[in-house]
Amino acid sequence: MIDFHSHFLPNVDDGAKDSNISLEYMEKFYNLGFNKFLLSSHIYPNLYENTPKDLLERFNKFQSMVKTYFKDKIEIFPGSEVYLSQDTVENICTGKVLTINNKKTHVLFEVDFTFLPPNLDDLIKEISKSKLSLIWAHPERNSEIIREPEKLGRFIDQDVLVQINLGSLGGQFGEEIEETAKKLLSKDMVHFIGSDCHCSPRRQFVFKEAMDIFDKYVNPHYKEDILINNAMRIFEGQLLYPFPYKVKEKGLWNKFKKFFKI
């Protein structure tokens, strides 16, 4: 399986503090069945100003440690998690952020937890004009998506792909986020899963339980795509379009029609 969001690259953000702790946590995930990891270090204005050059240099050093420790059992891929706002959109469009596996095709982004940027549609349009595709990291943690999970459909319609945190499914961030993650998954609005592991003992290790919940809520038809195939396509820089998702049933008449198969 592929972990499509992690902070295992040491000393670049609020993730792993050193390589030993990264290897220790990666082994825990390997024991759960994960053997490929996207190292998506934060890029956040005035806080984590990680450049592609610096991240790639550190990635190459860490990759040789991973090879020595795990032999060929584990593979890692470079990337970043970019905070998307009016201030960062230009950097994204002009190639100043590290794309997934440095393929210059896909960007993993996050937004603020407390609100959606009012011009999010414009930001998405601007980025897609520069031939980059977007993957939204853990939207289930955003308060507006929690309030109205169906809202995500508007962005999926613009070909934005979605990654949810396994920890959200396992209750790592509370009940509301857990319910939102389950809802998105059961509506086929999820295309990748990630640990978002920060190698911190402050976050409970709920991932075994989370995998059981994932199995319960995932559409079996898309399970292998979410766990493996979609991430592999992105690592290779290939195009990927969202699955058709289930829309909210509107009104009694639609329910009546569905019930009587009219």
Chain-centroid distance, C-alpha 110: 9
CB of 40 to Fe ion, least distance (A): 6
Of residues 15 and 242, the one with the C-beta less far from Fe ion: 15
| Residue with smaller CB distance to Fe ion, 81 or 225 | 81
Minimum CB distance to Fe ion smaller for 137 or for 156 = 137
The residue range among 47-55, 99-107, 193-201, 216-224 that interacts with Fe ion, by the rule CB under 5 A, is 193-201
DSSP-derived secondary structure letter, 118: T
* 7 close to 198: Cβ distance less than 8 angstroms: yes
Identify the residue among 3, 140, 178, 196 touching Fe ion (CB under 5 A).
196
State the minimum distance, in angstroms, from the CB of residue 13 to Fe ion: 8
Sign of CA dihedral 5, 101, 55, 1: positive
Strands (E), 50-160: 75-83, 106-110, 133-137
- Please give the size of the binding site for Fe ion, defined by CB under 5 A: 2
Whole-number Å distance between alpha carbons of 60 and 77:
10
Residues 59-118 that bind Fe ion (CB under 5 A): 81
User: Shortest approach of Fe ion to residue 16 CB, angstroms?
Assistant: 12
- Minimum CB separation of residue 11 from Fe ion in Å reads 16
In the complex, least distance from residue 15 CB atom to Fe ion, rounded to whole angstroms:
8
Question: Rule CB under 5 A: is residue 3 a binding residue for Fe ion?
Answer: no
Sheet holding 2-3, edge to edge: 2-3, 36-43, 75-83, 106-110, 133-137, 161-165, 192-194
Amino acid symbol at 23: L
Name the site residues for Fe ion (rule: CB under 5 A).
81, 196
